[in-house]
Structure 1
Amino acid sequence: MSSQVLILYTGGTIGMVQTEQGLAPASGLEARIKQAMGASLADLPSFDVIELNPLIDSANITPNNWTELVSTLATHWQDYEGFIILHGTDTMAYTTSALSFMLGACDKNVLVTGSQIPLGMNRSDATSNLQAALSLACSHPITDVSLVFDGKLMRGNRVQKVSSGRFKAFTTPNDELLGEIAIDMQLHFDRMLKKSPTTDTLSMSEKALTFQEGAVAVLMLHPSQPISIYQSILNDDNCKAIVLMTYGAGNVPDKNTDFLDFLMQTSLRNKIVINLTQCMHGGVSQGAYAAGSVLSERKVLSGYDMTLEAAFCKLHFLLAQGNSYNDIQEKWDTNICNEFSA
């Protein structure tokens, strides 16, 4: 092992350069990192950079890319002390959530970061984010797949992107920070995922699950919903699960017969439905209001205070493991990696 840390570059703003068509991912990132970070590298762990081929804008991320990332980590797991994944911010919360379920409690640090402005450009946040990630990559044991951004260490399955124009682009609306990287570094090890060697017996390569594209749908409720949406989801045999984005504490239009029939049909066709609030803060209290109690009667499961990204990825994870409709009904309430508040 010649270097301590492996950096996986997937694409995304941090490594983009200006082209005639606008910003686009570009190869040769290792040289640009060393040029931008200069003398500060002397105080940071040594690193190698692997660039995925092809590099992609994170808006084009699919579950297959999560498999590729874990497969790449598995190949190099014994060669490095820690790992950093450079990723675009648009779908960063999906990838950090997916990796958290796939990897579980890690015995080596897996950190994800990126930037709002490309590395080397004026006022870029790339250097500070990458410096923070490198300073954490192998110096302290961090069991959670985590996001390092704007001086914060955040649990990967609790993050959401909240700004497209600020350096404080991510937050964990229903979770405490795992750490802060400021003048002094403060890490909260008591908040991190506990290792469970008796339950996690899979090798790294076995964690690279194969996902089923299009297996999970997201349905955002809004007044006067077109009923054609319901039928298209029901008729899609490839769709096995639905994240239902409801109002407030988990309320739905319980006087809408088309919607109620849709829910009945989902259970008859063995499609899992998860009740998740559209609100950023808080979670669902299924049954607290009459307008939400109808969900339990139709086997809709509570999403607690999970993020959309976490619920979406947890469903994909459970399906990729081969779980049936009844299996997921039984397993959904298990807090796999602190994805919801206990």
Structure 2
Amino acid sequence: MKKILLLTTGGTIACTGGGAGYAPTLDGSALLSYVPEVRGLADIELTGILNIDSSNMQPEDWELIAKTIRDAEDRYDGIVIVHGTDTMAYTSSAVSFMTLGLRKCVVFTGAQIPISKEGSDGRENLLDAVCTACSSGLTGVYVVFGGKIMPGCCVSKCDTEARAAFQCVNRREVGCVHQGKLRIFEYPSAPAGRPEWHIRVDNRVLLWKVTPGLSPDLLDACIEARYKIIILEAFGVGGLPMLRNSFLPKIIEWRERGILTVVTSQCHRGRCDMTIYETGRLALNQGAVCAGNMTREALLTKLMWILSITEDTDEIIALLRQNCCGEFGL
């Protein structure tokens, strides 16, 4: 029987009701009491490292999770992490980059409805996650939710209510799982180069959504806050305002101050290609970098991870363009 570590961090799956609203209170033992059949799949050991609403998850918590995985990897066949859904895609992306040397299967899961409530999806998701973590053919970080097995660096939460809350963006799901049976569509390729663990992120990266009428002057606060990278969520394939409320002067100013501008699309699917329209090319000519087709969660966390490795602009761009763990869509 496989030996699986179940890490709990809180989230909706662990919530109970109270006068102030739902809050995570259940520990790992309580969660498993709702899914006793899990004990028949694997030898489960429990560790609670956090017990928070995932809206409170911070970059230092990502580091804690990654360190816990590193320290436990050699003692278990797989690891399941129970996490709130609201920021799960950020955490799974960040952990994907920080654990490139991972040789085991790490699975994130959670629920849209507390496991203690009738009709909860938490029971099925937890069972599916443990089943996936027991797979000897999968290595790396995954999100298992609603019966889908998805790469941790290619998912986004796309629905606040549906059981299929997460979607695999710009690539196919790795597989599916139902009632203890796995079906793998395609095994992910190994990370590029010599994968190494680097468990650190630098949060001096800002993600800002561009909207009609937005004054670029609002972003002057980024300079005072000492941000090193600004990600602009642009229109369509990478268009930015260049007439009224033009972003071009700010991109030039940021470049002169050593701040890198990275542009991605607001669209959920497809790629950012700033060579198509004049508005995109003007930004490229002044040093802006096009992000390609990563999810916003992967882009933000990858740049935080890269910034903890180097602050050299050319090196940041080179690492950004490297497909480290399958974060670029197909």
Q: What is the TM-score of this pair, normalised by structure 2?
A: 0.94
Deviations 1:220-247 (A, max 9, x none): 111111343121123322x111111000
Give the Å deviation of 1:194: 1.1
Alignment of 1:168-179 (within 5 A): 168-179=164-175
- Letter in structure 1 aligned against 2:244: N
2:276 is aligned to 288
Match of 2:111 among 104, 107, 115: 115
Tell me which stretches of 4 or more aligned residues in structure 1 moved more than 4 Å: none
1:263 is aligned to 251
Residue 103, structure 1, aligned to residue 128, structure 2: no
1:24 is aligned to 23
Residue 218, structure 1, aligned to residue 211, structure 2: no
2:184 is aligned to 187
Please, which moves more after superposition, 255-264 or 245-254?
255-264
Residue 320, structure 1, aligned to residue 315, structure 2: no
Q: Is the 8 A contact 2:38 2:130 kept in 1?
A: no
Residue 37, structure 1, aligned to residue 35, structure 2: yes
Match of 2:194 among 199, 203, 223: 199
Give the Å deviation of 1:105: 5.5
Paired residues in the alignment total 329
Give the Å deviation of 1:42: 4.9
Distance 1:249 1:236, change over 3 A: same
Give the Å deviation of 1:258: 4.5
Match of 1:253 among 237, 241, 253: 241
Residue 93, structure 1, aligned to residue 89, structure 2: yes
SS in 1 for 2:247: helix
- Letter in structure 2 aligned against 1:172: C
1:128 is aligned to 124
Residue 51, structure 1, aligned to residue 51, structure 2: no
Deviations 1:112-131 (A, max 9, x none): 00000111211000010010
Give the Å deviation of 1:185: 2.5
Cα distance in 1 for residues equivalent to 2:198 and 2:117: 37
Give the Å deviation of 1:35: 2.2
- Letter in structure 1 aligned against 2:210: L
2:10 is aligned to 11
SS in 1 for 2:300: helix
Give the Å deviation of 1:270: 1.3
- Letter in structure 1 aligned against 2:73: W
Please, which moves more after superposition, 305-314 or 133-142?
133-142
Q: Is the 8 A contact 2:191 2:326 kept in 1?
A: no
Percent of aligned pairs with the same amino acid: 28
Cα distance in 2 for residues equivalent to 1:145 and 1:46: 20
Cα distance in 1 for residues equivalent to 2:39 and 2:298: 37
Distance 1:51 1:181, change over 3 A: same
Residue 308, structure 1, aligned to residue 296, structure 2: yes
